Amino acid sequence: MSLLNTIVDRVYVINLDKDKERMEHMDRQCKEHQINYVRFPAVLGANVEKDSRLSPICQTFCTDGAKGCALSHHTIWETMLKENLETVLVFEDDVIFTKELESKLQVAFRNIPTFDVIYLCNLYNPKNENIFSHLAISVGGIQPQDHSPLLKKTKGGFGTAAYIIHQDFVRKIIDKPITQHIDYQLSQWLQELNGQAYAFTDFAVKVDESPFESNLADSFPILLNSVLKQIKLEDTPDLSWILNENIIKLGPFNLNLLIVILMIAVLFTPKRFFWGWGLWLLLEGLLAKDIKNTLRYGVFLGMSVVLRLKFG
């Protein structure tokens, strides 16, 4: 048994039933580190018609993936209270363990008297070296503070891929409605409740080296994303992952930052070159053989074309 199993009461791995390769990947890693774990069958957001744990806003505008992700974590928290588990470690199924995982956690627990959340891979990098960090500090007010050479104190982050949460904090948030992506939601609760959160200065697990695509992000458009994947940011997944993470649902369609950027680009495109956007989208659609996403991009980019023709 791993030292990790003596530090927390239970280790969970969240995994969709369809993602068997991901589960094999996690099972292999856990066996290598001798970690005993419980697989949690993730909630499939597409099957969620209505859930009292989601606010009306989230019920309407959260993407299916965001709903399923949030409800999966929330159900684990409910189990914590039901079974009186003081601390649990939650892994999503696309993380990569570092060799120092157990040793870092051991040192962390010696250096933290009390805590609510410990992020093992906070993408609001406590070193402040990437775009997530700068946005979190300037917009979200998440300014990390030195705690020890290994840890920084933070007010949240983008890191529910791997974290430890304490029962006392779960009791404070369990009845609060979910209004947004669970990463942002947890950060908001930590700030509202003055939660005690910590993050490793060097990740104990990694997501930027994962061989798996995010279940919350898109791979379409293939040609454009093949270029974006070559653009790496410090201690974060590639630019494709960041831009394709779906942030909101409008009617039947998910919207991400890439679509927003392309819509803005269309607005500044001379009208005589609009045909180029249509040709590009047709090419992407034929290559991907993906009618749904081709239609989605066509609708959003078409909105920009209409606005440009009407007001430009």
Does 251 lie in the same domain as 197? no
In one-letter notation, the amino acid at residue 2 is S
pLDDT of residue 160: 92
Q: Which of 171, 206, 241 is the last residue of a domain?
A: 206
Query: Domain of 141: which CATH number?
Result: 3.90.550.10
Q: Which of 172, 206, 240 is the last residue of a domain?
A: 206
Q: In this structure, are residues 189 and 155 in contact, taking their beta carbons and an 8 Å threshold? A: no
Does 116 lie in the same domain as 169? yes
Does 269 lie in the same domain as 190? no
Q: Would residue 214 count as lying in a domain?
A: no
Distance in Å from the first CA to the final CA of the chain: 66
Q: Which of 206, 240, 272 is the last residue of a domain?
A: 206
Does 45 lie in the same domain as 154? yes
Does 66 lie in the same domain as 41? yes
Q: Would residue 213 count as lying in a domain?
A: no
Does 180 lie in the same domain as 116? yes
Does 194 lie in the same domain as 105? yes
Q: Would residue 216 count as lying in a domain?
A: no
In the chain, the number of structural domains is 2
Does 232 lie in the same domain as 200? no
- Residue range(s) defining the domain that contains residue 238: 222-311
Q: Would residue 243 count as lying in a domain?
A: yes
Q: Cis omega before residue 221 (within 30°)?
A: yes
Residues in the chain: 312
Q: What angle do CA 122, 99, 24 make, to 5 degrees?
A: 85
Q: Would residue 51 count as lying in a domain?
A: yes
Does 244 lie in the same domain as 197? no
How many CB atoms sit inside 10 A of residue 262's CB? 21
Distance CA 235, CA 132 (A): 10
CA 121 to chain centre: 11
Does 144 lie in the same domain as 25? yes
Per-residue pLDDT of the chain (312 residues; tens, 9 = 90+): 788 899 999 999 999 999 999 999 999 999 999 999 999 999 999 999 899 999 999 999 999 999 999 999 999 999 999 999 999 999 999 999 999 999 888 888 888 889 999 999 876 554 555 555 555 555 555 566 655 667 888 877 778 999 999 999 999 999 999 999 999 899 999 999 999 999 888 888 988 656 666 666 778 999 999 998 888 765 556 778 778 989 899 999 999 999 999 999 999 999 999 999 999 999 999 999 999 999 999 999 999 999 999 987
114 contacts: CB under 8 Å, gap ≥ 6: 196
Q: Would residue 135 count as lying in a domain?
A: yes
Q: Would residue 251 count as lying in a domain?
A: yes
Does 287 lie in the same domain as 162? no
Q: Would residue 119 count as lying in a domain?
A: yes
The three-state (H, E, C) secondary structure of the chain, written as one string: CCCHHHHCCEEEEEECCCCHHHHHHHHHHHHHCCCCCEEEECCCHHHCCCCCCECHHHHHHCCHHHHHHHHHHHHHHHHHHHCCCCEEEEEECCCEECCCHHHHHHHHHHHCCCCCEEECCCCCCCCCCCHHHHHHHHCCCCCCEECCCCEEEECCCCCCCEEEEEHHHHHHHCCCCECCCHHHHHHHHHHHCCCCEEEECCCCEECCCCCCCCCCECCCCHHHHHHHCCCCCCCCCCHHHHHHEEEEEECCEEEEHHHHHHHHHHHCCCHHHHHHHHHHHHHHHHHHCCHHHHHHHHHHHHHHHHHHHHHC
Does 119 lie in the same domain as 17? yes
